Structures are given as structure tokens and as C-alpha cells.
Structure 1
Amino acid sequence: MILKLLSKKSFLVLLACIVLCSCANKQKTEHGLEFRAPAYPLITIDPYTSAWSTSDQLFDSPVKHWTGRNFSLIGAMRVDGQIYRFLGKEEIPLKPVVASAKYEPWKGKYINKKPKQGWEKQNFNDKSWNTGNAAYGTAHFGETSTVWDSPEIWVRRKFTMDEINNNYDYYLIYSHDDDLVLYLNGTEIVNTGNRAKSNVTTKIDKQLLNLNGENVIAAHCTDRGGLAYLDFGIYTESNQKPVFENCAVQNSVKITATQTKYNFTCGPVDLNVEFVSPLLMDDLNLLSRPVNYINYKVNANDGQSHKVEVYFDATPEWAVNDLSQEVEVAKGTSGKVSFAKAGTTEQPILKKQGDDLRIDWGYFYLAGSKPQNIAIGDFHNAKKSFTDNGNVAAEKEHIQTVMTKQMPALIYTNQFESVGTKSESGYVMVAYDDIESIQYFGENLKAWWTEGGNVTFDQILKSANNDYQSVMDRCDCFDEQIYNEALKAGGENYARICMLAYRQAISAHKLVKDTEGNTLFLSKENFSNGSIGTVDVTYPSAPLFLKYNTELLKGMLNPIFYYSESGKWTKPFAAHDVGTYPKANGQTYGGDMPVEECGNMLILTAAIASADQNAEYIKEHWEVLTQWVKYLQEKGLDPENQLCTDDFAGHFAHNTNLSVKAIMGIASYGKMAEMLGEKELSEQYINEAKGMAAEWVEMATDGDHFKLTFDQPGTWSQKYNLVWDKILNLGIFPEEVSQKEISYYLKMQNKYGLPLDSRRTYTKSDWIVWTATLAKDNETFEQFIDPLYDYVIHTQDRVPMSDWYETTDANQVAFQARSVVGGYFIKMLEE
């Protein structure tokens, strides 16, 4: 009787509580999967506060932001006076020799039309070229001083060097948007191809440099659309040397959905370290809370007692876009929590937008529960003090500096006078208060956790501290649940890539509410173009959120619905995006994807309604859904020359997979009409979709498979959009269509997976999982998953999992840290 009175939502909450209590009452077991990842998630809060280990051993490389920039986080343990570094690596910032524009303006010669042959050589006569200050690029972008608005630019920079220190290495640091070819004294040392990156560091062969003579850096950069930028300089090592040189022995690393767990030996003491991101989708307040935990536990392994001191430090690198920005560091307390915080003095809230950017407003926190010691001091001196004494004296209460001149540190220490076989433990909190999170059609929005500005960051720190043990228990319980569900759905290797994908997919979003209280879960299109709320990123990301909380998927669709329903977007099809992160003020992408985005929105709305088992969300948006389905009726069967979600491959017409999406969109509309009680309308659209599917089969058939485009025999492509016919039980295409494709795909696989189509050998990992889900049995499914797993564990690109890579050699093509890996969970929707 009681259950009948509960709403579905209330029942799920009650069920979660029952499961949690059951889990908490069990003796804790260490869950986790041990495998080599391209990069290991450490701190994953949102697209800005996202830190990873890019080496197999936690201490072999500095901790990195997903863009590749250092987010220094160092951990060491002192055992009976002996130091063991277990986390991060001291990487002293390079000092400028020939500074880039980020540090000081420099003059160069430039031209916008192709120069004469030999333009890159030292003795080339460039007197007729223009003179201008760097950087060169789009107005008001980066450090641009000279506007570059032509398709190409050639730049020559001359300099002399008085000395070259043979004890130190020299590096070129460069930023480019897009393609860059760069020469040093006539020798090509950089050739990026079609890429855009910021502050790339590459070692220079010192023999290429002329001492006491003229040197020339010559660069050619191409703008492929959007922003343009070019800047470069030469740097060398600091004369300051690392303090924590001795390392622990790493025994293992395990990955769960919410945790990365390391085990070390530090001489006579064992150390366990857990990085915990409590991204639990049944609790949006907790998911939004910008606090992660680093747990540590120590115990003797020799039966003796030992004096142990634990040390963590971080730098203000977490709170700047660039090291040249002035920062301030201060200490404080919040109830039982002590903290050090860092932020820029400028605080340019929501001023910047773009892809390869880090947050430079708000404050980064390193915090601990009293009586652990929190201090601020010099990056080098603090480590020396800990090495010598096992603690860090409170050097200062406030520091204001530029990190290229002085590197401050936020420091946490804890002392255990006697550690024996009984373990001692503690935890550090890493947090970020971004003050304002998103600009949404002109309104600045705070993060979800603020409850409209009613909850302060002090309160959040207190709650994170008070809730610590219950949060740990819930994370352990959920990790066990999600692993078992993934294992059951697709096998061990499938479960492993899902565990690695979980935090990456969620933390590539920001959770806020609009001024009307509607959920907005806005993605950043990481290392693609930086768009916010991209529909064709939402589409592949959706399965994770369909599985665990449709409210978050609604939050991904809501901005696109609002954009059209408000009249701000006036085209008859769905928009591609709502801006460039973190500014969601309207589409900024240069091209439309009409069939793609209409199909995406219709399919996902139907999937939400199916998961919720009610039509409430459909009712809210029926008018614009009807507009979009009519567009697909007219344009969807044989699409015109346009982009699809695989837009990096370029425009093309008669796309058979895009046609499948249109047909699925129309069928989804029919399913939604049925849920609204519109039986006649439902039959009309379902029958139309079936008729289009029959035409599709006739037009696309190419012997033992189906074509890439209707007009190109001898081609093929992954028809991953067919998966919704199975997931939503639409019954539009004959089953033999998907099974014919599956049989053909098994012949087309390379060592590291199934190519995207017949044009190239690269692939998209999310689409492989969707395609594999078309298989009728798990054995066949795993034949597609195993090569994908081999890519994950063998790729040499140490970045948060890329979804675009070569199937022949496991090399990254582009993209990293994107939310689309949430698509891996589609196999779990079969239930």
C-alpha cells in the first residue's frame, strides 16, 4: 500500500537508501580494475577543474589539466626522516630566453601573401615585409597585438644569443591556430598539420642555435576558420633543482567509476592513496559540489613502529589561464576546516571563451580537517623545510606575485608519531569556487550547488568535511553496482572502458539552473572547438545519462529547446550549439547540421520519455518537435550536401547513416505520439518511417553490405544510428539489415578497431560501441570491444581518453577528454 502512494522518483530515492544501507553494513572490500589507462583521472569536477596523471607511475610526470597544462599537485611521505615522493613531479617553470608575447611584446616581420622561395632561411631579405608586434591573430584574442585576418601568415623573428649553457636544455614554446610550420635557422622543427594548440613545448637541438650571431625563427600559419593565432619563444631550464627526488615504489593502480586507487611502498611503510570524485547521479547537489577528496592510509610492513609525516602541495596554476597572470594566495578557516586558497588578482569573471583555456577567476582550495597543518609558502623552500624537519613553518599569511617570478605553494601536512601494523589515515580536499559558472543568454548563472546563491562556499567546505564518511561509503557502493552492471552487459573489457569513461563524461559538463529554475547540464566540446551545449556531442554522450539520471540529459537538451522556442533561433531545424564555453549566448559554430541535429533531438526526447515511462517532457516541447520532424520528412531520406556529427570528415551528400538518423527521428516522433495518446498520428509516422526504411534498403544495398552514400558503390560506413531501432524497440528496419552490416564489419576491423568508414582508417570509439551493440549476442559484441580496449591500453598518447584515433597504430588523431565517451554505456540500455 505504501509503495503505491510513492511517486516513481520517491521510490527510487527510497530504493537507493536501502541499497546504501545494505552496502554500508558490509565489510568494505577494495573494488577496482587494474589496467593501464592513457591518462588516469585524479580530480574531476568540471571542464575547468580537471586534473589527470599522464604516466603509468603517479610520480613520473607532473599532474596535468586535460589540455596538457601543468596543474601542479605533489605528494610526499617522510618515514623516519627519509622522503618518498608518490604524487606528481617537480617541474620548475622554464625561464624565457627569447620571450613569447605572453611575457613581453616582441617585433617581427610578417606578410600575408606567399613569399619568395627561401623565406625561412637566415639570409633571406625581408625588408619589404611588414613590421608588427606579436602576437598575431584575431582581434582581442590572447595577446594579439597585430590583427591577422587573412587565410595565411608568414612571420620572421630575428634574435641573438650571448651564451648557451650546455648544462641546460632549450625549448621552443608556441601557440598556433590553426596549421603551423616553423623553422629555426632554416631547419624545420615544427609541422602540426590541421591542429590548433596553445603553449606547446618542444625541445630544441642546441646545435641549431648560433652563438654571438643572428638567429631566425620563421613560421607559416594557416587559419582554417574561426579564431587565428600565432606566438612563439625560446625558453631554458631554471637553475633550481627538485627537492623530492627519491620516489616510492608503486605496486598497483586501480580504476573504478568514481575513484582512482594507488598502492605504494615507502620503505618500511605501505601507503594507499585514493582520488575520489563523488559524481553520483542520484544526488545532483553532491554531483555539483566542487569538492574532491584525496584519501591516504599508512601502515608498517615490517612489524615495527615508524614516525611518518604526510605532505601535499599545489600551486596557483589551478586558478590561472597563464603563468604570467598575477595571483594571490591566502589562508583561512571554515568551522573545522583549514584551507589555503589561490586566485588571480584580476578576477576576470566569465570574460574569456574558447577551447584550450583554463579558468582564471574564482578560487582554488587545498583544505583539510583540523588539526592537520595548512600553510602557504615558497614552492622550493616548503619542500626543503619538510625534508629537513617533517613540517612546514607558517611562512606567510598572504602572498601576491606572478608565478614566473616566484612560485608559491599551498601546503597540507599531517604527522603520525607512531605508525605500526594498525593503519593511520587522513584526507585532503581539493575544491574550486568559480563564483559565476555560465553566461546563459546574457544572464550569469551560479553553479547548481549554490541553490541560487543561498549556499556559500564556506558552507560547502563544512558539508564536504561533515559528510566525508557517508560520501565514501556511497561511492564504494555505486562503484560496485556500476561495475557489476557493465560486466553483465558486455564483459570484463567493456566494464573497464566504462569505468574509465565515467568521470570523463560527467566532468566535461557544468550543472546550473536557468533563471526559471530549469536544469542546464552544459557540455564543453573539449579539444574540438570549445562549443557549449553541442547537440552532436550530447547525442553520443546520452546513454550514460539515460541509464542513471534522465534529468541530466534533459539538462543537455533544454538549452536547444529554449533557443528555438524563445524565437532566438529562427531556422526550421535544431541549432548545433548555444555558444562557446562558458558563454551560452547563441550558436557560434560556423556551419549548420540540419538533419543531424533534428534527428538527435527527436531521438533523445523519445529516449527520455521511454526511460521515464511518461510523456511529460514530450508535452513541454511538442510544437518544436513537430517542426523538426516535418523538416526530416522533407530533407531526411536522401540528405543534401551537409555536415553530420562526423563533421571532421567534411561535407558530403546522400549520407546513408545520416539518412538512418532521419528515419529514426521520424519513428521516434511516432513513438512519442503514441505516448501522448495520439494513436492515428503515431501510426502515420511509424508507417512513414517504415516506408522510408524500405526505400533506404533498396538505395543503399551494395552486395554483402550497405553503402557509405547512396551514389557510391564499393563504399561502406558504420551505421551506428541503427542502434535506436533496437534500444527503443521501434521495429522500423528489417533485422537482417543490421546483421548483414555486423557480418561485414567483422571483416573490416583493424588491429585497434573498426574504421569509421571506407574513406580512412581512423575511427570514433563511441560509434564502435554503438555499432557493436547491434550484435545479437555478447560474443560478437566483444569481438568489437576487445580491439577498442587494446587501443585504450596501448595508445602512446598520454591524454584523457581520445575518441578519434587510428585503428592501425592506436595513435590519437585529435580530440581528448570529451564527454562523448558516455556513449560507451549504450550497451547497458538493452535492458
Structure 2
Amino acid sequence: MRKLSLVALCLFFNLITKAQDKAPAYPLITHDAYFSIWSFGDGLNQSVTKHWTGKEQSLLGVIKVDGKFYRFLGEESKSFKEILPAADALKYQASYSFDKPEAGWENNSYNDNAWKKAEAPFGDDNSAKTKWNSDDLYFRRTFNIANVSAAKKYLKLNHDDNVIVYLNGKVIYKKNGWVSDYTYLPIKDGILQKGKNVLAIYVKNTAGGRYLDAGLVEEDADNVNIAPATQTNVSIKATTTSYTFSCGHVELQVGFTSPLLLNDIKLTARPISYINYAVKSTDGKPHSVDIFFGASSNLAVNTPNQSVSAWKSSKNNLSILKTGTVEQPVLKKRGDDLRIDWGYLYVAVPTKFNATQFIGTQNESLKSFVDSKYPEQAQVLNSKSLNLSSIIPFGSVSSTPVDKYMMLGYDDLKSVEYFGEKLQPVWRLSGSQQFEDQLAEANTQYPSLKNKCAIFDAKLYADAEKSGGKEYADMCKMAYRQAIAAHKIVYAPNGDILFLSKENFSNGSINTVDVTYPSAPQFLVYNPELLKGMLNGIFYYSESGKWKKPFAAHDLGTYPLANGQTYGEDMPVEEAGNMIILTAAITKAEGNVKYAEKHWEVMSVWANYLLREGFDPANQLCTDDFAGHLARNSNLSVKAIVALGAYAQMAQLLGKADVATKYRTAALQMARNWMKLADDGDHYALTFNDKNTWSQKYNLVWDKLLKLDLFPKEVYKKEINFYLTKQKDFGLPLDSRRTYTKSDWIMWTATLADNETDFRKFISPIYRFATETESKVPLSDWHETTNGKMTGFQARSVVGGYFIKMLADKWNIK
């Protein structure tokens, strides 16, 4: 009997596990590149929630059931006490040398009186107090400790580049490479000692920047730690991520909804998400329930050492908490691994729910919840790492679910800079200038938006499943919010919509054309106006005369400053081809040629360039720039040929018959020549001059979708058949040079298949990557096909390319 019960229990948990959706990371709050919070890993309460960059941006949720506490959202952030403060906590001086000292310099007995002393941090950027421009830095801090506590000790370190760290002559840390922020590294017990101690560090600069700051901290012994609830389910839908927990004899369902309904641009641009809670008894008895929610002020800083203020207020039938940095450096930083440090985070709860709100540190706030003693101050000024806390009483809960919700929003004041002008968020362009009024509108709309999102989520999944099966549908719903939230919607001074991407964790560029290109299918399916917003800035850049080259620019700058290209090298064939192909796609999606006509003059310049230079490309980069330069790239040649065919198609629609004939004739001849030059027997080669190679010819998909008929269908079939012999466990490699791949391009390649069976053969391995990878970050589009680990990139918009098969079906392309 006992064995039978054990088997039944195992089956039960197996069913629970199978029911849960799997993803590398789970989207919670997703609006733009700065307001984007994720749960990294499989359990909502197994780690601190993070910004897509991986930096902690804590959302914490605790439910109290009959006096017992269960943590369901996030994990408590560690709080530390300073032992030896780093420069972000307290000014200090250190002894240093740029010259190699005698042996034993790291030991406590070494005499460093001859060394120089200066204020930290050391480095070569504007944040450094002491300039360091050489290759080597030797650093020593001598300090005394009266008593060594039993608390866990950590090295707090920020370094660039290679580093060796000694404490009292013993190596406690070594690393080749650099970090962009402070890391906390555990120190073995017994190394730190009562009395005199010496922290000694050697840093070697190998390239690029230089930086060093270091200190020692210990865990705060007063940290409140609350036991986790048992997560029984997680479900990802296009606009919502939902979790279910068992908390004693109560079931808790938590949903995170970012209502990104692309047919409503104003709504999509409004940076407000909902968190809803549904609580019910599971044993037929009533239970007393309260829910605690805390949002860290670190959602409004780039680094946690920045000073913040917070306020409590009420307006429009809402209880509101607000926080932001003291400095408010609006649009003062640009780059990739950055978070917003201007504007204000808002937490709002409808007053009808009788929430108690207060401000403090996270640990103080948890103590307040546990002790039911709440601070009453309405503001906290010039502090650090505050927590915006709300307690929502649910009263006595029975088997009938009780539903309540709250909102998180972010007012970024100014969203991007566009050719010298700071652009306002969309919601400020009409109506009230107060963000509290946006929260009030969102509150009023909650019931209808919840319903609209549910309907949309179901339809997206059904459409995707019809197009490519369950695994394909799962990939599409996983990608939907990520693709949108890597953009910002604004309007240019001339009234044009701008939908500006950030090239997340590749180089931080804004409005990169070869990021727009793979992202486009999702927006062609759901709102082509947004694809126009991805092209408008690039067209303006050329048409205004600011960009003078005969091909399109690579980007408009480095996010969030769109003042002109900052990428160091052009991609002439790549970007000219992308712009023309996507304009043709808009023409097809809208059923008219108005957008192409508006930009015909500059597209004609680009088409003429491709006519001259596109067929047999010179040594240059393409969108797969991580793979390096490549001359005579056959897939890049396909892009040029397809772009010329697309240009001819638009010319015909515009009544320019002579132009259409000229360019279509040229494109057809190029396609014939391509088939001869790239032919390698059972497939087509990577380059025209290097046979026994191969590559995914994903650019062919637009020949198929736009019905250009430049290449015979036999070309698609030959490539598909060959690719099916080259698949690895986690996908089809990008080409024969390496075993890594790009999942967006696999989706495009798969869409060349003429039957559902072959299509699904390409999808299954990348679905396996998405659900089994050890790389627990927002979905990476660049991964290794042999082991399923990410190679690079994360949280990028290019996963919008997964919708290419749905686009083909929408256009009735089989």
C-alpha cells in the first residue's frame, strides 16, 4: 500500500511538472529596454527578480495565512554591513604603485611607505578619482578590526581587467576579464583576523578601460528570511505570466500582465503593468490572508549606490508610492549594460482594497509586515535601496476566490534623444501631464484590458499552433513580449511614429537596421505601422542629408541617443537590402504603395547601389557580424537580388513600368548567375569561391513571401533537404564555419519548407534549447547547437522573427 501511495505521489508531481511552461527566464514587467523585469530561472521565488541585463531589480511578494508567512515572489536581497567600505560607500585612500614592486608586496609585513597614496577608485574614466593609464596597478589597504563576527564575509570588487586579490597574503580571488559593476565574492572563514589586516590587489589592463575599487562587507545578521511557498504551476501567454502556489491551506494565483496589444499603439506605449492576485481556501475552511508586495528603488537607478528619494500619496482613488534618483540625470548616459536612472517608478493600489503603504529598506519592511507595525512617514529623502511596500488585506478567504490587483508604472520624463531633441513619452503628447492620471486611466480600464488580453493570448496561440504546431506556438508566445520590450515608441518632431530598438547585449545601438530586419515579422502580423516606426528614422537620416552615403545607415546612435550612427563600420549591402525588402513587405501588408512612394527617391539610390555592388559582395560585414567579415557571401547576395526584385515589384505598382522591367530583368539574371556560382552539388555554398561549405540561405524567405519568383522552388527544396542532414541536438548551425546558430534565422529557413513535417523538424531542436538550456536569461537568439548553451545576446527584439511562419500563413503563402 505504501509503495502504491509513493507511485501515485510521483505521478502527481510528474503531472504538475509537465503542466508548467518552461522558459530560460520569465517575463514579469515588460515595456521597454529600461522597464523590463524578469524572473531568471524556473521558480518565481527561487531568486531575486532582475532587469533583463541581469542586475537585481527586486520585486518581493509574501502572503500571510493565519499568521504564517510564505514568500511567493522573488527572494530577499542580501543586505550587508561595511567592514572596509568601498568608494561608493565612503571616501578612502589606498597605497598604490604603477611599477612592479619587490616580491612579497602582498604580505602584511611589507613596508609600503614609499608607495603613493591617493583616493579611490582608480581608473581612466570620469568616475575615477585617481587616474590610471598604465598597464599595471598594485594596490594596498591596511586596516584594523576590533572583533571578527561569525557573519559570512564578502569581497566587494569592481575591476577592469585581470585581477588577483590577496587578503593577509592569501589569494582570495582571481579572474581574467572585467566586470561592469560591483560583485560580491565569498571569503573563506578564518582569513580575516582580529587586529591588522591587509587587502592587496594586482590589476592588469589588457585592452580598453581600466578600473579598480574594492572593500569588504559581511551579511547583516538581522536579515529577515521567509520560507518559500510551493510553486505548483507557471503559465506563459503572450501578454501574461501566471503562477500558482500552495501556501498552507490556501491557493494563490499571481498574474503579471503587460497589456501590449499592438493594434492599440497608445496602450502599448503606456508603461503600466498589472499584478493580480486570486486567493482561495483549499480545505473548505476560512483563512485570514494578507499579501505583502515590495518594489525596490533599484528599479529607478543604474547602480544601487545612487541616492534616491521616495514619497507616499493618494490621488484618483489610488494609494500611490513613488521613487526616483535624487540626481535625475535625464538622458545623460548611453550604452548597452545600463539601466535608467532618471524618471520615477510608481506602485499604485486602488483605495477600495484598503492597502497599507510605507517606505523603508527591504529588511525593515519585512520586519514591519511580520510585526504588524508600519512606519508612517510620507517621504524618505536622499537614501539608498529603499523598498516601496504595500500590504493588501484579503480578509477571511473561503473556497470562492478573492481577486485583487495593483499596478506598476514608470514615468521616464523624456524617452530618447532624436537628432538633438529630447522626445516625450507618448502619453504626454495628449491629455494630462501627470503620470498619476495615467494610472487612474489604467485602473478604470483593468477589467476590459484583462479580458482583451485573455482573448488576444488565446487567439495568438491558436493561430501559431495552426501555423506550426504546439512547439512553434510555445516559441511565439515566449517571444512576444520580449520583442516589443526591446523597443521604445515615440513620435518624431515631424509627427512620424518611431519604434526604436535597443540592440540588447550586442552593442547597445539604437534603431539598428539589421536588428529591425529579423524582428519585422511580428509587427507585420500585428501592426505594420510599428514596422514603419522602425524604418522612419533611417529614412529621415538619409533624406535629411545627415547621412550621405549611397546605402542605408547601420543605426541611429547608441541607446537612448539617436543622433547619428555610432557603429564603427558600415554594412552597405546588408542595410540597403533590408530597407528595400521591408518597405516591400509593408506594401504587401497594407495593400497599397503609399509608404514606398513617400521614400522612393532614396530607395532608388540604394537600389542603384545594389545593382552595382550587391550581386558579388566585397569583403564586408552582414547582420551576422559576430562571425566576421566575409567576401562573396552567397546569402548576402541573395538579399541584394531579392531587394532588387522587391524594388521592381514596387515600381510596377507605382506605374513605373520601365524601371520595373529594368530591375526585374537584372534580378532574374543575377538569380540565374547565383545558382551557377553558388552550386555545390546537393546544396549551395557559403561563398562563391569556397565550395565544400554551406550556410543557411534565410534571405530567400522574402522571395517566397513576396511572391517574387526570382529563384525556382527547387532551390528552396535543395537547401531544405541538405539542412536536414546537418542538424545538431539543439538546432541547425548557422553555417559550416561553426556549430553555433541563430534561432531567428532557423525559423526563416524552416519557412522555406514546402510541408509541415519538414518545418517542424527545424523547430523541435530550438524548442528543446528554449526549454532545456542552462542559460537562465531572457531568451537568447544566439546559441550553441551541440550543448544548448547561449553563445551571446539576450532579451533582443529579433525573436519577433519567430512569427515569420504566421506571416506566411496570413499572406496565404504555402
User: In the alignment, what sits opposite 2:342?
Assistant: 361
Which of 409, 427, 433 is the equivalent residue of 2:411?
433
User: In the alignment, what sits opposite 1:388?
Assistant: 371
User: In the alignment, what sits opposite 1:351?
Assistant: 332
Which of 287, 292, 300 is the equivalent residue of 2:281?
300
Please state if 1:524 is matched with 2:505.
no
Which of 520, 537, 541 is the equivalent residue of 1:559?
537
Alignment partners' CA distance in 2, 1:147 and 1:249? 51
Q: Residue 650 of structure 1: CA displacement?
A: 1.6
Alignment partners' CA distance in 1, 2:379 and 2:766? 49
Render the CA deviation track for 1:543-582: whole Å, top value 9, x for unaligned.
1001100111110111100011001111111111111111
Render the CA deviation track for 1:232-266: whole Å, top value 9, x for unaligned.
42443332444241221110000000000001111
| Matched AA of 1:248 | A
Bigger mean CA offset, 517-526 vs 243-252: 243-252
Q: Residue 395 of structure 1: CA displacement?
A: 2.3
Q: Residue 770 of structure 1: CA displacement?
A: 1.1
Alignment partners' CA distance in 1, 2:536 and 2:112? 54
User: In the alignment, what sits opposite 1:397?
Assistant: 378
**CA 222–785 in structure 1, closer or farther in 2 if over 3 Å, else same:** farther
Q: Residue 634 of structure 1: CA displacement?
A: 1.3
Query: SS of 1:817's equivalent?
Result: coil
Contact 2:86–2:216 (8 Å) recurs in 1: no
Bigger mean CA offset, 162-171 vs 736-745: 162-171
Q: Residue 689 of structure 1: CA displacement?
A: 1.0
Contact 1:120–1:219 (8 Å) recurs in 2: no
Contact 1:639–1:653 (8 Å) recurs in 2: yes
Alignment partners' CA distance in 2, 1:319 and 1:808? 39
Alignment partners' CA distance in 1, 2:125 and 2:696? 41
Q: Residue 148 of structure 1: CA displacement?
A: 6.5
Query: SS of 1:356's equivalent?
Result: coil
| Matched AA of 1:45 | H
User: In the alignment, what sits opposite 1:14?
Assistant: none
Pairs within 5 Å for 1:186-201: 189=173, 191=175, 197-201=180-184
Alignment partners' CA distance in 2, 1:108 and 1:553? 56
Which of 268, 276, 290 is the equivalent residue of 2:249?
268
Contact 1:766–1:823 (8 Å) recurs in 2: yes
Which of 46, 52, 57 is the equivalent residue of 1:66?
52
Please state if 1:716 is matched with 2:700.
no
User: In the alignment, what sits opposite 2:492?
Assistant: 514
**CA 783–188 in structure 1, closer or farther in 2 if over 3 Å, else same:** farther
Alignment partners' CA distance in 2, 1:441 and 1:548? 29
Please state if 1:550 is matched with 2:534.
no
User: In the alignment, what sits opposite 1:468?
Assistant: 446
User: In the alignment, what sits opposite 1:21?
Assistant: none
Which of 650, 654, 659 is the equivalent residue of 2:628?
650
Render the CA deviation track for 1:469-510: whole Å, top value 9, x for unaligned.
001010000000100111111111111111111111101111
User: In the alignment, what sits opposite 1:793?
Assistant: 771
Alignment partners' CA distance in 1, 2:293 and 2:264? 29
Q: Residue 175 of structure 1: CA displacement?
A: 5.2
Pairs within 5 Å for 1:566-581: 566-581=544-559
Which of 200, 203, 218 is the equivalent residue of 2:202?
218
User: In the alignment, what sits opposite 2:24?
Assistant: 38
Report percent identity of matched pairs.
47
Bigger mean CA offset, 229-238 vs 336-345: 229-238
**CA 394–520 in structure 1, closer or farther in 2 if over 3 Å, else same:** same
Please state if 1:237 is matched with 2:237.
no
Query: SS of 1:431's equivalent?
Result: strand
Contact 1:47–1:507 (8 Å) recurs in 2: yes
Contact 1:144–1:229 (8 Å) recurs in 2: no
**CA 811–236 in structure 1, closer or farther in 2 if over 3 Å, else same:** farther
Pairs within 5 Å for 1:340-739: 340-371=321-352, 372-378=354-360, 379-389=362-372, 393-403=374-384, 407-451=385-429, 454-739=432-717
| Matched AA of 2:578 | N
Alignment partners' CA distance in 1, 2:380 and 2:41? 32
Which of 152, 156, 160 is the equivalent residue of 1:168?
152
Query: SS of 2:675's equivalent?
Result: helix
**CA 274–751 in structure 1, closer or farther in 2 if over 3 Å, else same:** same
| Matched AA of 1:294 | I
Render the CA deviation track for 1:383-428: whole Å, top value 9, x for unaligned.
2222233xx534211101332xxx4321111212211111111001
Alignment partners' CA distance in 1, 2:332 and 2:788? 38
Alignment partners' CA distance in 2, 1:687 and 1:302? 75
Q: Residue 191 of structure 1: CA displacement?
A: 4.4
Which of 80, 84, 104 is the equivalent residue of 2:66?
80
TM-score, structure 2 length as denominator? 0.91
**CA 333–554 in structure 1, closer or farther in 2 if over 3 Å, else same:** same
User: In the alignment, what sits opposite 2:8?
Assistant: none
User: In the alignment, what sits opposite 2:3?
Assistant: none
Render the CA deviation track for 1:203-258: whole Å, top value 9, x for unaligned.
4556777884544322234436xxx3533424433324442412211100000000
**CA 547–223 in structure 1, closer or farther in 2 if over 3 Å, else same:** farther
Q: Residue 137 of structure 1: CA displacement?
A: 5.3
Contact 2:159–2:212 (8 Å) recurs in 1: yes
Q: Residue 646 of structure 1: CA displacement?
A: 0.9
Alignment partners' CA distance in 1, 2:149 and 2:738? 46
**CA 213–557 in structure 1, closer or farther in 2 if over 3 Å, else same:** same
User: In the alignment, what sits opposite 2:136?
Assistant: 154
Alignment partners' CA distance in 1, 2:619 and 2:19? 45
User: In the alignment, what sits opposite 2:307?
Assistant: 326
| Matched AA of 1:230 | Y
TM-score, structure 1 length as denominator? 0.89
**CA 43–119 in structure 1, closer or farther in 2 if over 3 Å, else same:** farther
Q: Residue 318 of structure 1: CA displacement?
A: 0.8
Q: Gaps spanning 5+ residues in structure 2: where? A: 1-17, 810-814
Alignment partners' CA distance in 2, 1:700 and 1:111? 56
Query: SS of 2:141's equivalent?
Result: strand
Contact 1:209–1:215 (8 Å) recurs in 2: no
| Matched AA of 1:449 | W
Please state if 1:248 is matched with 2:248.
no
| Matched AA of 1:410 | L
Bigger mean CA offset, 165-174 vs 558-567: 165-174
Query: SS of 1:425's equivalent?
Result: strand
Contact 1:170–1:206 (8 Å) recurs in 2: no
Alignment partners' CA distance in 1, 2:132 and 2:552? 33
Bigger mean CA offset, 450-459 vs 380-389: 450-459
Alignment partners' CA distance in 1, 2:795 and 2:73? 21
Contact 2:156–2:182 (8 Å) recurs in 1: no
Q: Gaps spanning 5+ residues in structure 1: where? A: 1-31
Render the CA deviation track for 1:129-179: whole Å, top value 9, x for unaligned.
998765555644xx2345677xx8433322346456553042443354xxx
Query: SS of 1:367's equivalent?
Result: strand
Q: Residue 118 of structure 1: CA displacement?
A: 9.1
User: In the alignment, what sits opposite 1:53?
Assistant: 39
| Matched AA of 1:388 | D
Query: SS of 1:747's equivalent?
Result: coil
Contact 1:85–1:245 (8 Å) recurs in 2: yes
Alignment partners' CA distance in 2, 1:640 and 1:446? 42
Contact 2:296–2:386 (8 Å) recurs in 1: yes
Alignment partners' CA distance in 1, 2:72 and 2:544? 53
Alignment partners' CA distance in 2, 1:428 and 1:77? 15
Render the CA deviation track for 1:655-674: whole Å, top value 9, x for unaligned.
11111111111111111112
Contact 1:97–1:234 (8 Å) recurs in 2: yes
**CA 642–90 in structure 1, closer or farther in 2 if over 3 Å, else same:** same
Q: Residue 102 of structure 1: CA displacement?
A: 3.7
User: In the alignment, what sits opposite 2:291?
Assistant: 310
**CA 374–640 in structure 1, closer or farther in 2 if over 3 Å, else same:** farther
